[in-house]
Structure 1
């Protein structure tokens, strides 16, 4: 599939912005051809020049490039229009004073006392890349994860279906949606980093803070929590900050940092809550647990290089990176500085 030109992206982005602005009562016209702006927005008699930047999927790294490239906006405001603008990218845009329009149905705009942060009608008339939500459900998350874990040598759909105990047809349907969204190349390789950030946008594990860490003794007692300390197939996997540090991410944390575990199933989560107790305060947690968004998290586990954080196996580096992408405070910065040596960087 041919890549859409920047001019076409900007033109389509401008049209989408005009439709969204009109839906909330703003007056928008195209700027004169001899002006460096794209649009003019009139609010309470004041005219605000707008420069449009557009992309299919907008991630923090792209935002940083846009801000650097457009550092001399002068009296204009920058607005990014995208089919999907990830949460970390939205935060970066807010911090930089930029506006944005996510075609799935949300607009944010700040300028000269104007503050808009509102839902707008979803716009699929000018979406450059078709499906607005190409990744949803375990099958799609699993297939996207499998591609990103081996971006240069994609696995077969049947092998992934077997690994995650889903039907082949479910994986085929998920793969079709990714292709239609132009997140997978013609040769089957994932489009990087776009697929990573599309996956990060739906990566929403629900963490439960526990009062105690599990012990090896529990694992010896028929392993009711499914820790899998002595099994190679499936079990608890450390991800998040501790998991990323174990893979060499530039994070300064100590041995006392509470690990973030993924568990294989909801029943394992319930057992852990019963046996280890919930922490009354998140800040006092011994660890957190969450059901893995895809079985691959708890299947693809690795021995850590040392025992600094205990005997736990760690999740694949991809999943630790997806967790970091959810951290608004330092996640994007850590990912930008992290160039892993043990797996392929896909962000």
Structure 2
């Protein structure tokens, strides 16, 4: 599904209004600019470029295609995107382009104007959420992101995910139509990561007595599979504690309650019964997330040291959890280089 210029235009007009500047879309008969700003009584023409995700790679391509950066002699250039990732922000700024990240930030510099501020986030993303309407599409996205440099095939994905080739073909077609997968079935990164992050909403529950997880009988009933990390599907540490274990810049107390992925809702309900439900936040022993796709609990990694103790979720799934936190989680992601055998896709 291509980006929607109508949504983008409404969003940018609202963003400028939030900082006290009147922005008027140019008439279709005017080829010189897309938008005209009233800057203290002086008009400023602005050309806009609408994309789902602005990445350093895509920005570098635009900068090689005339016209390049904004100048005092022509319209200012403004990128509008659901997401402008950190590296793209810097590249745009260095080359005189402005940007509106629809999560809530506007930057534009030009004659008589300098804006670099938070603005209200738009409630309507430019890409249709129907791309991830089914679980199969989420499974395909996860599989492609786990091996982003390996060309895939419909039948190969069908075997791996134990799905019919027809359902895999439909999911891949949806991702290709959304410009998230190329014609070799390779993921477009980081675009596919961030779109997957938007659809990544695991059900959660909290429990109180995680010390009981060391009891072999309870561990067996709850299918933790602590002792068979490589050969089975089981519980996996995720979120901030896992990111810190992988070396991400995530400062966290040693006694911070862990977050675990569990294989399915039945296990989460059983865990709540056996481990107890906390009566307050202070009594929370752990948060359990039901894995949105089977790969989460099947691609666990051993703990790096005795201090971590728990098997770790694959860095991809830890990153998807962090991406849901618009504040600290995004900061951790920006500064995190995953292990050498994992390709960074965010």
Partner Cα distance (1:226, 1:48) in 2 = 65
Partner Cα distance (1:19, 1:267) in 2 = 42
Q: Is the contact between residue 135 and residue 141 of structure 1 (CA under 8 Å) also seen in structure 2?
A: yes
Structure 1 residues 144, 316: CA separation in 2 closer, same or farther (over 3 Å shift)? same
| Structure 2 length-normalised TM | 0.72
Question: Does the alignment pair 1:140 with 2:137?
Answer: yes
Q: Decide which of 89, 94, 97 is 2:117's aligned counterpart.
A: 97
SS in 1 for 2:51: strand
SS in 2 for 1:196: helix
Aligned position for 2:208: 211
SS in 2 for 1:97: strand
Q: Decide which of 334, 337, 340 is 1:336's aligned counterpart.
A: 334
Q: Decide which of 13, 17, 22 is 2:9's aligned counterpart.
A: 17
Aligned position for 1:250: 249
| Structure 1 length-normalised TM | 0.72
Structure 2 stretches lacking a partner, 5+ long: 15-21, 54-82, 108-114
Q: What is the RMSD computed on CA atoms of the aligned residues?
A: 3.9
Partner Cα distance (2:334, 2:11) in 1 = 34
Structure 1 residues 297, 223: CA separation in 2 closer, same or farther (over 3 Å shift)? same
Question: Does the alignment pair 1:68 with 2:100?
Answer: no
Query: Would you say how many aligned residue pairs link Structure 1 and Structure 2?
Result: 298
Partner Cα distance (1:246, 1:156) in 2 = 34
Q: Is the contact between residue 213 and residue 219 of structure 2 (CA under 8 Å) also seen in structure 1?
A: no
Partner Cα distance (1:297, 1:321) in 2 = 12
Structure 1 stretches lacking a partner, 5+ long: 100-107, 110-116
- Compute the displacement of 1:228 (Å): 1.2
Q: Is the contact between residue 152 and residue 186 of structure 2 (CA under 8 Å) also seen in structure 1?
A: no
Q: Decide which of 300, 320, 323 is 2:321's aligned counterpart.
A: 323
Structure 1 segment 1-347 matched on structure 2, within 5 A? 13=5, 17=9, 28-30=24-26, 38-40=34-36, 51=46, 52-57=48-53, 58-61=83-86, 64-65=89-90, 68-69=93-94, 79=100, 90-92=103-105, 96-97=116-117, 108=120, 133-213=130-210, 215-221=212-218, 223-231=220-228, 232-310=231-309, 312-340=310-338, 341-347=340-346
- Compute the displacement of 1:189 (Å): 1.2
